[in-house]
Structure 1
Amino acid sequence: MRRWWGVMVSAVLLGAALSGCGTPSGADGDLTDDWRPVAEARQFAPQAGECHVIAEPTSYLTSHQPVDCAKTHLVETFHIGAFTGALAARPIPPRVGSSAMRSAFAECDSRAKEFVGGDWRGARLSVQVAPTSPDGWAGGSRWFRCDIFELDAVGGVNGDNDRAIARAGSLRGVLKGSSPLVYRCMEEDEWGRLLPIACTEPHRFEFAGIWAAPDQSYADAQQDEDAVHAKCRTVIARYAKVPVDGMLRYRTGTTYRFPSAEAWARGDRGVRCWFWSGGRKLTRSIAGGGTKALPVN
């Protein structure tokens, strides 16, 4: 942990006109006018509101086995979007994690905030995009699936957590109440994981907010730790309502978590920031506490 702080239907017409044979009773001699037309082929498409036991962002028909969201599942589809323009004209679908998927991720991001009732980055949640399969794309499908899933505990090192954990129940509106998924006060265990704790219990960490990192490589984004801590101090200052000045570094310690490498590739640029007391235990939230909550030390 870093601190600073598709049928072809073929038909064979067997109509041999034999000399001296007449048309059977009740037939008009036309073997085709009474056939029903072949139904137009329909493309497979998932639906919003489906949940899945396969967490990978795959959209093959063979692996599409949705379950009731009230039952145990790993990911939930909350929105179906469509590739348009130049992206839709591509011969193959955009690759998962490629820059071509950024616009789809941005749409999923916005829809996810509406779906859960807040910024999902401030909770143990992540969002992914599952594009149409190559076969579906060749058949004319241009949809993409927006999935959301629950994460495990906040790990001890930056970007180590992108594993969907099993849950039962939809995530719709989950952030509108006092959800246990929301990051609040936390304490560190022996493996460096940040675990939730009531703010009235002794703790040294409190989630303060998020800042958006520049669109650059994952490695480059994490290179300047001092700059990351400085950005987080500003986030904490806004959260606690203290001045952003030369004394700020003496009021708060910081720890942060980058999105996982996989989430970064999908388009998540949100750096999560936590206040760190530096050692002393607090028994109240610093939210809006001002200089009384964060005195100069």
Structure 2
Amino acid sequence: MRARFGGLAVLALAALLAGGCAAPAGLDGDLTDDWGALPEARVPAPRSGACYDVPDGAPKGTVQWPAPVDCAAAHTVETIHVGTFEGGDPSSVPMQGSPERRGAYTDCTGRAKEFLGDDWRTGRLDLVLVLPIQPHWQAGARWYRCDLLEYRDVDEYEVVRRSGTLRDGLAGARPVGLGCVAVTETPQKRIDKLAPVDCGTPHNGEFAAVVDLPEGAYPTDPAAAGDQRLRSCAAPVATFAGIPNDAELADRIGWVASPFSEIDWQLGNRGVRCYAYSGDPLVGSVKGAGPEKLPPD
């Protein structure tokens, strides 16, 4: 039966082929000219509002991540916006320091401020600009992604595996905002750590403000750069503490300047985090303390 069925099938096929000269109405017998073109292969763009539980040790900005999870579930990264590059070199991902890359980062910065309620740099946070890898760019991907991460500290950069969105994290009670810190020094009198602590417990430092340095090349002379950063923090710390920015400022309160990296600088982030710093233990905030509570030594 199997052999007979096969024979009948061959005969039927032969009959169809033999009758090809009389194609049914609407068909011309040419199988190559009536098919629509296949859609162009494209790399799918990421989804805004997605969260990812990225394993420990994965590099920031990686594109080979696990599938997105609900932001109410445990995760380490939250994508707050996905934008699109316009123009630029169609053959290459925008280079570090390029106008296109800086423009995307500027967009991410504005989106983050709107999302969080304040400048992301005033929180235990990082804003990461993610671009397609080169093969995906050449395949037509033109997206850029704005990702936020929460850190447990501000010097070791231990990423928090959190549940819930970061939206409004710097509004109201500012749950992820920078506040009081325990400052420790090295034997060489250099700042070693800035560990976040409750302002109601003894501490010797407190976040005051972020100041942006002027445009220009990234400062490479360590001594000159350090002096510039410290000078830039004097006025913000004085304003924060409610004391005059005069010759007695350093006798009333000290301060610490914590810059961002050269990579951040090339993206357009020339910020320096400024902390009020006291040689004596503090309890409570020094915000608006004024000259009476902070007399010169």
TM bracket (short chain): 0.7 to 0.9
Aligned residue type for 2:60: E
Structure 2: state its 5+ residue gaps.
1-12, 187-191
Mapped pair 1:257 → 2:252: no
2:294 alignment partner AA? L
Shift of 1:150: 1.3
How far apart, CA to CA, are the structure 2 residues paired with 1:91 and 1:25? 48
| Residue identity opposite 1:56 in structure 2 | K
Letter in 2 for 1:57: G
Aligned to 2:116: 116
- Quote how far apart the aligned CAs of 1:222 are: 6.3
Name 1:72's counterpart in structure 2.
Answer: 74
Question: SS state of the match for residue 292, structure 1?
Answer: helix
What TM-score do the two structures reach when normalised by structure 2?
A: 0.78
The amino acid across from 1:267 in the alignment is G
- Residues 139 and 232 of structure 1: CA distance in aligned 2, closer, same or farther (over 3 Å): same
Query: Which residue is 1:293 aligned to?
Result: 293
Is residue 2:284 matched to residue 1:280?
Answer: no
Cα offset, 1:244, TM superposition: 1.9
Q: Identity, % of aligned pairs?
A: 34
Task: Report the Cα distance in structure 2 between the residues aligned to 1:224 and 1:18, rounded to whole angstroms.
Answer: 83
- TM-superposed deviation, 1:151: 2.1
* TM value normalised by structure 1: 0.78
1:168, distance to aligned residue in structure 2 (A): 2.6
Give the residue type in structure 2 aligned to 1:255: V
CA 33–84 in structure 1, closer or farther in 2 if over 3 Å, else same = closer
Instruction: Check whether the contact 2:219–2:225 (CA below 8 A) recurs between aligned residues.
Output: no
8 Å CA contact 1:213–1:221 kept in 2: the answer is: no
2-side partners of 1:21 and 1:99: how far apart? 61
1:1-150 matched pairs, under 5 angstroms? 23=22, 28-32=27-31, 37-41=36-40, 43=42, 44-52=44-52, 53=54, 54-59=58-63, 63=65, 65-85=67-87, 87=88, 89-95=89-95, 97-100=96-99, 101-150=101-150
Tell me how far apart the structure 2 counterparts of residues 292 and 72 of structure 1 sit (CA, whole Å). 47
Q: Deviations over 1:224-255 (max 9, x none)?
A: 42332222111111112222222222221111
Deviations 1:127-182 (A, max 9, x none): 11111222232232321111111123122xxxxx5564433322111111324421
- 1:174 paired with 2:166, answer no
- Whether the aligned pair in 2 keeps the contact of 1:126 and 1:150 (CA below 8 Å) is yes
Kept in 1: contact 2:41–2:139 (CA 8 A): no
Determine helix, strand or coil for the equivalent of 1:46.
coil
In the aligned structure 2, how far is the partner of 1:204 from the partner of 1:165? 24
Q: Look up the match of 1:3.
A: none
Give distance in 2, aligned partners of 1:198 and 1:149: 21
The number of equivalent residue pairs is 273
Q: Which amino acid aligns with 1:257?
A: S
C-alpha distance in 2, partners of 1:200/1:18? 90
Tell me whether 1:184 sits opposite 2:184 in the alignment.
no
Task: Label 1:21 to 1:194 Cα distance change in 2 as closer, same or farther (>3 A).
Answer: closer
- Secondary structure, aligned partner of 1:216: coil
RCO higher in structure (CA 8 A, sep ≥6) = 1
Amino acid of the structure 1 residue aligned with 2:162: R
Amino acid at match of 2:83: G
**AA in 2 matched with 1:213:** L
For the 8 Å contact 1:258–1:271, the answer to whether it is kept is yes
RMSD across aligned positions (CA): 3.2
* 3-state DSSP of counterpart to 1:219: coil
Query: Could you tell me how far apart the structure 1 residues matched to 2:157 and 2:264 are?
Result: 7
Q: Distance in 2 between matches of 1:15 and 1:221?
A: 85
Alpha-carbon distance, 1:81 to partner: 1.4
Q: Highest Rg: 1 or 2?
A: 2
Aligned to 1:8: none
C-alpha distance 70-18 of structure 1, shift in aligned 2 (>3 A): closer
Letter in 2 for 1:167: R
Alpha-carbon shift at residue 69 of structure 1 (Å): 2.1
